[in-house]
């Protein structure tokens, strides 16, 4: 599965200018290619990769890397619906809710129109009372109505826009969009993402952002680094694979969003009401919020300087996620959260 996802990305990836604005404005050709090349036989409905991966409101730059984003690149596109439901005020998963999003699910073969379904979207930046969450939500609301018929985007095409250097980490292809990003940053006192770098190992990642190596490997488990990228402020996304005694393979994405930065990353979680949630304190004393369902699990850590989310995908080779609550708690002990402020 991992190789198929990688191969699919290598086939469909556009040039850097196009990647800046692809996800929200994904074309039917892209959707057909993703369906044709990234969905295993027999996975027409309920494809896990279409339902569970961390995704930006636009496709991230590939930065000339063939290794990074092997999980995220084949994820379905997310289209924000006209009505956004706000967070419910319940602590935990519900308090990260950004409302419903329409997710495009690839189908087998390249001629059928991809299926769509509504899923709950959550913020990766913090709970609903944080300025980072509010900024992400405001950008979502703006993006869902701006250039709704994609007339401007069609005119821009794949040509450079001049906004790549300062606004390259956002879906931005007009001055109006750049102005909105600046307005949001000023309103919530946030800086823009910058300084994208790839990391070759967890130690390399940690050295770049100035924290201790937080990946642990107890005697009864393994925890392998796959890929990672970081930003100048210390935000990052790491992809890894773990094996626990008594459980199967666990593929995961570990996200850190540093406070004071405007980030539009979001995650589709299926039905937010399907999750069982509880508090858990790690052996080194860090309080976490855990959420588990039949198709994925989530781990939240609200730290002093950042907000951490682990997106637990289960075994992407077999397209299953059957992690028990006990196994999820054991999985958290593969990380020293105390080293990430």
pLDDT at 246: 77
Categorize the per-residue pLDDT at 100 as very low, low, confident or very high, splitting at 50, 70 and 90.
Answer: confident
* pLDDT value at residue 244: 87
pLDDT of residue 81: 44
CA distance 181 to 191: 10
13 contacts 6 by C-beta, under 8 angstroms: no
The pLDDT of residue 316 is: 82
What tens digit of pLDDT does each residue of 133-142 get?
999 999 999 9
84 near 133, Cβ under 8 Å? no
Condensed to tens digits (0 to 9), the pLDDT of residues 220-268 reads 889 999 999 999 999 999 999 999 887 788 999 999 999 999 999 999 9
CB atoms within 10 A of CB 259: 18
Exposure letters 42-66 (e unless 16+ CB within 10 A, then b): ebbeebbbbbbbbbbbbbbbbeeee
* Number of C-beta neighbours around residue 145 at 10 A: 9
Cβ pair 287, 324 in contact under 8 A: no
Question: Where exactly are the structural domains of the chain?
Answer: 2-190, 197-339
| Strand segments (E) across the chain | 54-55, 78-80, 97-105, 115-123, 191-192, 197-199, 221-230, 236-244, 249-258, 261-262, 266-268, 276-281, 287-292, 297-302, 306-314
DSSP alpha helix (H) spans, the chain:
2-12, 16-19, 28-38, 48-52, 131-145, 151-156, 164-167, 175-188, 202-209, 325-332
In the block, tokens 């937080």 appear at 214
For residues 183 and 179, give the distance between their C-alpha atoms in angstroms, rounded to a whole number.
Answer: 6
1-5, 176-180, 190-194, 296-300: lowest mean pLDDT where?
1-5
């Amino acid at each position: 599965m991992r190789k198929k996802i990688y191969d699919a990305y290598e086939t469909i990836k556009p040039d850097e200018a196009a990647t800046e604005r692809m996800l929200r404005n994904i074309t039917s050709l892209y959707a057909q290619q993703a369906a044709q090349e990234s969905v295993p036989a027999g996975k027409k409905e309920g494809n896990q990769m279409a339902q569970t991966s961390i995704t930006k409101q636009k496709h991230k730059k590939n930065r000339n890397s063939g290794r990074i984003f092997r999980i995220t690149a084949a994820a379905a596109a997310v289209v924000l619906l006209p009505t956004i439901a706000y967070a419910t005020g319940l602590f935990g998963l519900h308090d990260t809710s950004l409302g419903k999003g329409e997710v495009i699910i690839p189908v087998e073969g390249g001629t059928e129109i991809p299926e769509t379904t509504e899923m709950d979207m959550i913020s990766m930046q913090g709970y609903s009372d944080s300025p980072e969450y509010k900024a992400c939500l405001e950008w979502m609301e703006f993006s869902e109505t701006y250039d709704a018929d994609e007339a401007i985007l069609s005119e821009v095409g794949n040509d450079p826009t001049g906004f790549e250097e300062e606004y390259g980490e956002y879906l931005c292809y007009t001055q109006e969009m750049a102005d909105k990003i600046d307005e949001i940053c000023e309103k919530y006192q946030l800086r823009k993402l910058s300084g994208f770098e790839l990391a070759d190992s967890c130690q390399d990642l940690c050295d770049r952002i100035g924290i201790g190596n937080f990946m642990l490997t107890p005697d009864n488990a393994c925890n392998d680094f796959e890929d990672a990228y970081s930003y100048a402020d210390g935000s990052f996304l790491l992809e890894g694979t773990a094996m626990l005694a008594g459980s199967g393979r666990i593929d995961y994405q570990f996200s850190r969003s540093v406070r004071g930065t405007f980030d539009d990353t979001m995650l589709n979680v299926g039905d937010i009401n399907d999750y069982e949630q509880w508090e858990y304190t790690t052996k080194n004393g860090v309080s976490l919020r855990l959420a588990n369902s039949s198709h994925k699990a989530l781990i939240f850590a609200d730290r002093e300087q950042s907000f951490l989310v682990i997106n637990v995908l289960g075994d992407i080779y077999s397209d299953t996620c059957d992690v028990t609550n006990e196994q999820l708690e054991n999985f958290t002990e593969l990380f020293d959260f105390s080293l990430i402020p």
